[in-house]
Amino acid sequence: MKQLLVLLSLIFSSQLAALPIPAAPDLEAKSYHMIDFHSGEVLASKNADLKLAPASMTKIMTALIVFREVNQGNLNLDEKVRISEKAWRTPGSRMFIEVNKFVTIDELLHGMLVQSGNDATVALAEHIAGDEATFSKLMNQVAQQLGMANSHFTNSSGLPDDKHYSSARDLAILTHALIKESPALYKINAIKEYTYNGITQQNRNKLLWRDDSVDGVKTGHTEDAGYCLVSSAVRDDMRLISVVMGTDSIAARNNVNQALLNYGYRFYTTHLLYKSQQTLADARVWKGAQQQLPVGLAEDLYLTVPRNQYKHLDASLELLPQLIAPIKKNQTVGTAIIKLKSDTVATRPLVALQDIAEGSLMQVLKDKALLMFE
């Protein structure tokens, strides 16, 4: 009887391990797109390239440009900005800055990202580019650099304009850049409320209260755009970015984002397979000052796989048949191939991790002779 129970237990465990991963949910929104931050793997997508009004999610692009200016030393967070009449008069959500007053970059960033202030956004755009029209040109240049193929910006805040649009995929690309380039400044997006000029306003991203793993990013709403939200969360060092566009209520945009995040974390895991510059193998080098070349990857390799499938990953390294010196660091010398069971799920170039100069005349002649027998 005991043996039968053990057998039944093994069969039951096997059945649990074999449970399939369900397809991503089909949710009520015009468009959505969810990716893993580290691997870039797409875990759920619907009409991801559909051009739609991004509303205040536009402010993610404005934030990226401001963050870059701060990181490059062109702006200081304590730097003061004189508020123009245009910024003061900008309609929509407001930080309640006053015309001709001076407000710091730091205050304006909080007003833009926490309070979604259109006035603060225009003030930042004017301070960087002189006027909002010129700033919009800069936004489009950055979008092109990032590969945002379905986006065009005509203003810094997301006010309605037929020529102002983006897509769920593009906003995921944009958000990835924001978090990767400026992790410290990105934390502003997690602040739940901010007080300026005696007025306290709450962050419109209600997932910050509902899910402790959520730390951003930006809501949006206009009559044309509907209710939108770019969210990002971290659970067990796995960060997901979820973009939802065109729902019919605040509750709907929260629910769709939450459903996507829960799906991603429930059924997938992300692993760091290899670090950049980690030696994965030593390759034979001919006619060089040394015979052994450490090889590895130029960038970290993260892989997102269905939960409980990590043990089925298999890595193989394919080196070029003959490596002849001189060899430069980061020169491609082969390919790393990652398979999940029989399916190839990732390939990356293997690169030289150091320079190898050409060897002495004696070494060159010796290796030349040996190569004749290879």
Instruction: Quote the pLDDT of residue 368.
Output: 73
Instruction: Quote the pLDDT of residue 369.
Output: 76
Decide if 25 is inside a domain.
no
Instruction: Quote the pLDDT of residue 367.
Output: 63
Of 244, 268, 292, the residue that ends a domain is: 268
Decide if 353 is inside a domain.
yes
Across residues 21-46, what is the average pLDDT? 95
Of 203, 237, 268, the residue that ends a domain is: 268
Q: 132-146 and 168-181 are packed helices; what angle lies between their axes, rounded to 10 degrees?
A: 90
Please tell me whether residues 38 and 95 are part of one structural domain: yes
The least confident of 102-111, 179-188, 255-264, 350-359 is: 350-359
Dist CA 130 CA 127 (whole Å): 6
Please tell me whether residues 145 and 294 are part of one structural domain: no
Across residues 328-339, what is the average pLDDT? 96
182 is catalytic: no
DSSP type of residue 28: S
275 is catalytic: no
59 is catalytic: yes
Can you give the residue range of the structural domain that contains 99? 31-268
Question: Among residues 45, 84, 116, 167, which one is catalytic?
Answer: 116
Beta bridge partners of 302: 272
Dist CA 26 CA 32 (whole Å): 10
Question: Among residues 45, 46, 59, 151, which one is catalytic?
Answer: 59
Please tell me whether residues 75 and 221 are part of one structural domain: yes
- pLDDT reading at 35 higher than 50: yes
Place of tokens 């206009």: 222
Please tell me whether residues 221 and 358 are part of one structural domain: no
Comparing 336 with 10, which gets the higher pLDDT? 336
Looking at the structure of the chain, the number of domains it has is 2
Please tell me whether residues 45 and 169 are part of one structural domain: yes
Beta bridge partners of 45: 33
Dist CA 78 CA 126 (whole Å): 17
Instruction: Quote the pLDDT of residue 259.
Output: 97
- pLDDT reading at 364 higher than 70: no
Question: Among residues 31, 39, 45, 56, which one is catalytic?
Answer: 56
Please tell me whether residues 163 and 210 are part of one structural domain: yes
Please tell me whether residues 231 and 336 are part of one structural domain: no
Decide if 8 is inside a domain.
no
Decide if 22 is inside a domain.
no
Instruction: Quote the pLDDT of residue 7.
Output: 34
Please tell me whether residues 169 and 242 are part of one structural domain: yes
Across residues 221-228, what is the average pLDDT? 96
Dist CA 61 CA 335 (whole Å): 35
- pLDDT reading at 15 higher than 50: no
Q: 59-71 and 105-113 are packed helices; what angle lies between their axes, rounded to 10 degrees?
A: 150
Of 251, 268, 285, the residue that ends a domain is: 268
Backbone angles phi, psi at 148, to 5 degrees: -85, 85
Each residue of 55-87: pLDDT tens digit?
A: 999 999 999 999 999 999 999 999 999 999 999
Give the contacts of 172 (CB within 8 A, at least 6 positions apart): 33, 34, 35, 230, 241, 243
Decide if 19 is inside a domain.
no
Please tell me whether residues 165 and 200 are part of one structural domain: yes
Band of pLDDT at residue 4, cut at 50, 70 and 90:
very low
Decide if 180 is inside a domain.
yes
